Amino acid sequence: GGAGLFAYSTQAYGLDDVRAKVKEVQSDNSADGALSQAAGAYLSAREQMDEWVRHYADPSSELLLPDLPPHLQGTVRTLVLDLDDLLVHSDWARSRGWRVFKRPGVEDFLKQMSQYYEIVIYTSQLSTYAEPIIDRLDKERYVSYRLYRDATQYTGGEHVRDLSKLNRDPKLVLFLGADPKAYALQPENALPVKPYKMEDGDTALLDMMPLLEAIVRQQAPDIRRVVAAYRDCEDIPGAFRERTKAAQQRLKEHNKRRSSFLSRRGAAPQHD
């Protein structure tokens, strides 16, 4: 019937898209009355279904990570990493089926960053899929915690990472991801990284390391301010290099002026 036809034609859409299409159908005076009623019935059923799914897809806990030891609270920064297209890329070919490819430098990245951050991998994948992959990526156990689909927030048809439930100070949490939908709930805490699609010579992950190290070395009080400073940059590592170079040049000129001033003072005649 009409409901079945409407459901079939909208099954690939998110709930917001379905609402828009139903509104379009119901506001079309030329539309068949039965179709309009079917669209309304489908929307009601879809909203109930999404509510049911959301009930079972909310994060498994309000506090996804255990408390930090008292002496580390307020000092340790947490680096949260997505999995797909950030650390690995899954690819299918008829000749071999599905295979997972590691991003170049991922082991070195985890090793180096573990010296500066508490590392958490937070993925929308099921643990049965993701855990063996992370085991191969992180043989030395540089990753402190692993969070899977059951720890995500289901919203708008997506399993979104909810950083507010990490049990960490949001000022000290940074998320890296290749898909903006993954961090849609807290974009102010996230820096985007170019998705890995098996390109030769990919260095995007390694290129982020100087900035990530600087955040900790300089004891940035609020990581969200750093994110805001790079919000409009297409090439974040490149922008960081340019800003660092400019800052070093300013410091050099300041020291030169200071040295010249002190030299002039030293050469000034002394009066009794």
pLDDT tens per residue, range 74-130: 999 999 999 999 999 999 888 888 899 999 999 999 999 999 999 999 999 999 999
pLDDT of residue 268: 56
Average pLDDT, the chain: 87
Above 90 in pLDDT, residue 230? yes
SS (H, E, C) the chain: CHHHHHHHHHCCCCHHHHHHHHHHHHCCCCCCHHHHHHHHHHHHHHHHHHHHHHHHHCCCCCCCCCCCCHHHCCCCEEEEECCECCCEEEEEECCCEEEEEECCCHHHHHHHHCCCEEEEEECCCCHHHHHHHHHHHCCCCCCCEEECHHHCEEECCEEECCHHHCCCCHHHEEEEECCHHHHCCCHHHEEECCCCCCCCCCCHHHHCHHHHHHHHHCCCCCHHHHHHHCCCCCCHHHHHHHHHHHHHHHHHHHHHHHHHHHHHHHHCCCCC
pLDDT tens per residue, range 44-62: 777 777 666 555 556 767 8
pLDDT of residue 191: 98
Q: What is the pTM of this model?
A: 0.74
Percent of the chain with pLDDT over 90: 64
Instruction: Determine how β-strand 88-93 pairs with β-strand 158-160.
Output: unpaired
pLDDT of residue 16: 78
Above 60 in pLDDT, residue 7? no
Above 90 in pLDDT, residue 4? no
pLDDT tens per residue, range 123-164: 999 999 999 999 999 999 999 999 999 999 999 999 999 999
Catalytic residues: 82, 84
pLDDT tens per residue, range 183-222: 999 999 999 999 999 999 999 999 999 999 999 999 999 9
Above 50 in pLDDT, residue 175? yes
CA distance 219 to 213: 10
